[in-house]
Amino acid sequence: MRKEERFEKILAHFRDQMPHVTTELEFGSVFQLLVAVILSAQCTDKRINQVTPELFRHFPDAKTMAQAEPEDVLAYISSVSYPNAKAEHLVKMARALVENHDGEVPSDMNALLDLPGVGRKTANVIQSVAFGKSALAVDTHVYRVAHRLGLVSKRDNTPYKVEQALIKHIPAEDIPDAHHWLLLHGRYVCTSRKPHCEKCELSDLCPKLIEGSKLT
C-alpha cells in the first residue's frame, strides 16, 4: 500500500470515529493549559487532573504564580513526576510571562519556546489547542503509533522528524485533530507494552511495525 493511501484510509477512519477531540487535560485558561501541559511530561493526564484544581485555586494565573516560590508550588504538585524541577519551571515560566508578555501566554512559537520549561511538544500543544493553529505535537504515544502504523519511516527517529514527516501528508485542517487521534489511539489501543490488536479497528491496515517504535 502506498503511503499516501495509508494516510488517507487511516485519517478517514479517525475522522469518522473521533470527529471532535481535544486534550484530556482540564483547564480554565490558556495559562492553566500551559501549566497542565508542562506538568504532564512523563506523567498521566489523570494524575495531572487530580492535582491541578487545588493548584489553580491558589495560583489561577501567571501573576499570582509569579509571586510564589518553587516550594509554594511544590506543595501542590508533589505527586507528579519530577516535582521539584517542574515547580521551578512553573514559577520561572510565570515570571517570564509577567515580565515579557503582561501575564498572557503568547501564540508565537519562538516566544513560547523562550519560556522556561517549554519545549517544542508543549509549544505545539498550546498552538493547537489554545490558538487553533495547524501544529502537531509528538509525544511518546504519537511517536509510537506513527511508526507502528507505517506512517513514518525508521529514519524518522526523533520527535521532530516524526512531526515533519506527518505534517507532509496530513491536510492542514486535520493536523490539530491528528495529534489527539494518534495520541488517544496510543493511550487506549496501541499501548506501549502490549498493543490491543484484537480490538483495533485499524488492524487490517496496520503493518504492525512494533520493533523500533518506541522512543529510547
- pLDDT tens for each residue of 80-115: 999 999 999 999 999 999 999 999 999 999 999 999
pTM for the structure as a whole: 0.89
Instruction: Tell me how many domains the chain contains.
Output: 2
Question: Given 108, 130, 152, which residue is the final one in a domain?
Answer: 130
Q: Are residues 189 and 168 part of one domain? A: yes
Q: Are residues 123 and 193 part of one domain? A: no
Q: Are residues 101 and 46 part of one domain? A: yes
160 in any annotated domain? yes
pLDDT at 77 over 90: yes
Question: Given 98, 130, 162, which residue is the final one in a domain?
Answer: 130
pLDDT digits (tens, 9 = 90+) for 168-187: 999 999 998 999 999 999 99
Range of the domain at 12: 3-21+136-199
State residue 30's pLDDT score: 98
CATH number of the domain residue 180 falls in: 1.10.1670.10
Q: Are residues 121 and 38 part of one domain? A: yes
Q: Are residues 39 and 112 part of one domain? A: yes
207 in any annotated domain? no
State residue 154's pLDDT score: 93
Mean pLDDT of 146-154: 96
Smallest CA-to-CA distance from 14 within 194, 204, 190, 184 is with 184
What's the rounded Cα separation, in Å, for the pair 89 and 155? 32
Q: What angle do CA 80, 81, 84 make, to 5 degrees?
A: 90
State residue 21's pLDDT score: 87
Q: Are residues 169 and 86 part of one domain? A: no
pLDDT at 165 over 90: yes
Give the active site residue among 139, 156, 194, 204.
139
Residue labelled with grid coordinates 485519517 = 11
pLDDT digits (tens, 9 = 90+) for 49-67: 999 999 999 999 999 999 9
pLDDT at 211 over 90: no
CB 183 within 8 A of CB 192: no
121 part of the active site: yes
Q: Are residues 40 and 14 part of one domain? A: no
Report residue 12's pLDDT band, with 50, 70 and 90 as the boundaries. very high
**Alpha helix (H) residue ranges in the chain:** 3-17, 30-39, 45-58, 62-66, 70-77, 83-101, 109-113, 120-125, 140-148, 159-169, 175-188
Is the model more confident about 41 or about 87?
87
Q: Are residues 97 and 146 part of one domain? A: no
Percent of the chain at pLDDT > 70 equals 100
206 in any annotated domain? no
Mean pLDDT of 211-216: 81
177 part of the active site: no
CATH number of the domain residue 68 falls in: 1.10.340.30
Give the active site residue among 61, 121, 156, 177.
121
210 in any annotated domain? no
Is the model more confident about 42 or about 28?
28
